[in-house]
Amino acid sequence: MRDSIIVRSVFVSLIMLPLVLAPAWGQEAGNVNFAQSTDPSNRVYTITYDLLAPYDNIACQVQVKFTSSDGSFNLKKVTGDAGDLVYPGLKKTIIWNYVDELVHFSGDIDLSIEVMPLVQVPASVRRSKHLTIILATVAGAAENYTTKLYLNTKEVATLDAVGSESRTAGILIPKKTPVKKNYQIAISNGEKVYFSNTFKVRPKIGYGWKAGVLLAIPAFIIINKAIEDNKPLPGPPSHN
């Protein structure tokens, strides 16, 4: 059972359910709280949260999603620590003018804070393979973005440049990149640098082939022994 808060005003009658956390790419909103203003001339909701991430250099897009029986949408009448460029940190604050946003609305709603990095990459990639990068438009335009590879916030390699014609690009991970986690891609347009969420670099080939070799060795020994003894090869196991 979740507690609820009833908000009443001339225009709005809402049942505000606790904010749902929506983690993504290792970034999430934690310690979320909200409160209605007691000032009748300033009818707003104050939402506070901690923007948690592996590193504080990961710029994020933060949106508050409104969901009711009529559908869902991202709130527009918000100010403060919401929008296209919010960095990790504690005690973030969002002010929501619910009267202007929800004129004459009455009903039950859910709110959730959605967090996405400006530079999005998958959680893992094999070395010598291409890593898909999705770049938010807020990063700005440039003919080529300088792209670098970081490990534990330290630069380890310069990668191919990424053009701005498309928000999606593939970056080749060098074949000698150590198999580790906590890598990041850094994108620079000459003025600002934007860091991706963290990801892991895996071996070029998985370990499954080793299991196949180990299974093949006993089979080879059995077959070779049968040939030496001039005996018929063993057939498939019978099923009782």
Instruction: List the domain boundaries for the chain.
Output: 5-117, 120-202
What is the C-alpha to C-alpha distance for residues 32 and 37, in angstroms, rounded to an integer? Answer: 17
Place of tokens 């897009």: 61
pLDDT interval class at 106 (50, 70, 90): confident
Mean pLDDT of 171-185: 94
Indicate if the pLDDT at residue 192 is higher than 60. yes
* Under 8 Å between Cβ of 150 and 156: yes
| pLDDT at residue 6, rounded to an integer | 33
Question: What percentage of the chain reaches a pLDDT higher than 70?
Answer: 72
pLDDT interval class at 152 (50, 70, 90): very high
pLDDT interval class at 20 (50, 70, 90): very low
* Among the listed residues 106, 94, 100, 107, the one whose alpha carbon sits nearest the alpha carbon of residue 33: 94
What is the C-alpha to C-alpha distance for residues 62 and 89, in angstroms, rounded to an integer? Answer: 13
What is the C-alpha to C-alpha distance for residues 229 and 16, in angstroms, rounded to an integer? Answer: 81
Which CATH number applies to 5-117: 3.40.50, 1.10.3470, 2.60.40, 3.20.20?
Answer: 2.60.40
| pLDDT at residue 212, rounded to an integer | 52
Mean pLDDT of 141-167: 84
Indicate if the pLDDT at residue 109 is higher than 90. no
Q: How many CB atoms lie within 10 A of CB 70?
A: 10
Fold: same for 5-117 and 120-202: yes
| pLDDT at residue 164, rounded to an integer | 61
| pLDDT at residue 149, rounded to an integer | 96
Name, in order, each residue with C-beta under 8 angstroms of 3's C-beta and a sequence gap of 6 or more.
Answer: 18
pLDDT interval class at 240 (50, 70, 90): low
Higher pLDDT, 226 or 120: 120
| pLDDT at residue 2, rounded to an integer | 34
Q: pLDDT (tens digit, 9 = 90+) per residue, 64-104?
A: 999 888 889 999 999 999 999 999 999 999 999 988 888 77
| pLDDT at residue 18, rounded to an integer | 45
Indicate if the pLDDT at residue 43 is higher than 90. no
| pLDDT at residue 3, rounded to an integer | 33
Instruction: Look up the CATH number of domain 120-202.
Output: 2.60.40.10
Please, what is the average pLDDT of the chain? 79
User: Phi, psi (5° rounding) for residue 223?
Assistant: -65, -45
pLDDT interval class at 165 (50, 70, 90): low
